[in-house]
Amino acid sequence: MDIFTVFSIIGTIAFAMSGAIVAMEEEYDILGVYVLGLVTAFGGGVIRNLLIGVPIPTIWTQGMLLKTAVIAMTVAFVLPLKWIHTWKKSEAFFDAIGLSAFAIQGALYATGKYPLSAVMVAAMLTGIGGGMIRDVLAGRKPLVLRDEIYAVWALSAGAAIGLSWFKTPVELLVLFAIVILFRMLSVHYGWRLPRRSLKYALSQSVFEDENRAAAAAKKNEQLELKEGERQ
């Protein structure tokens, strides 16, 4: 079994269970559990294939990974509630495992065939694509667009592989651990990319406009009263 397959299996298990548990949180039925789990596990790879021109039907040649995902989702569905609570406490860690595994897998898929920029994007989309589709289908804001630094670690893994800094299986396993470490550090310390929120600013602007309009109306009313008194 080569290193590419190892990372594919790890990422598939982590993301399939993640999608299944999100589906159960949203009270989906068993079909929804399997759909959301499969989308989470394979959605990123499908988006990557669209980007780099790989035929989409190649997903159906991954029989072993599909079976692995189905087994993982079935296990998640029948897990005792206590075990699911334990999973939820460690959700960020397992999410980091899936992110790291799929980012490296996506980079390996593109490296040697496409330029560095494509390798980095392939790593990012493979790592975050399934999770984004999962969140959208679950009616949630995509984690990658609002939470701690997330996609940056997938891009960094793609850059490291595209620049041939990590090539051997041992080196790739070290990179796998590094990405998980930095993802968990970003969760622990709340590292975030710069953001500019207009929600408060716009609501404050509307509030001020309403106050000005109310003050103007009151002033006009007072003027009208004074005019009436003079008459």
Is the CB of residue 42 less than 8 Å from the CB of residue 69? yes
What Rg do the C-alpha atoms of the chain give, in angstroms? Answer: 25
pLDDT on residue 220: 65
**Tens digits of per-residue pLDDT, 54-90?**
776 666 777 788 888 899 899 888 888 888 777 777 7
The 10 Å CB-count burial string (b at 16+, else e) for 141-161 is ebbbeebbbbbbbbbbbbbbb
Is the CB of residue 12 less than 8 Å from the CB of residue 41? yes
Q: Burial of 33 by CB count in 10 Å (0-12 exposed, 13-18 middle, 19+ buried)?
A: buried
The model carries a pTM of 0.73
**CB neighbours (10 Å) of residue 2?**
9
| Residues sharing a CB contact under 8 Å with residue 47, sequence separation 6 or more, in sequence order | 125, 126, 129
Distance CA 180, CA 177 (A): 5
CA distances from 145 to 87, 163, 206, 224 (A): 23, 27, 26, 53
The mean pLDDT value for 1-11 works out to 74
**Tens digits of per-residue pLDDT, 21-53?**
888 888 898 898 999 999 888 888 888 878 777
Q: Which of 116, 117, 141, 142 is nearest to 44 (CA)?
A: 142
pLDDT on residue 62: 73
Distance CA 17, CA 68 (A): 11
Strand, helix or coil for residue 111 = strand
Percent of the chain topping pLDDT 70: 77
Strand, helix or coil for residue 70 = helix
**Tens digits of per-residue pLDDT, 123-169?**
888 888 888 888 888 887 776 766 657 788 888 999 999 898 988 88
Higher pLDDT pick, 202 / 106? 106
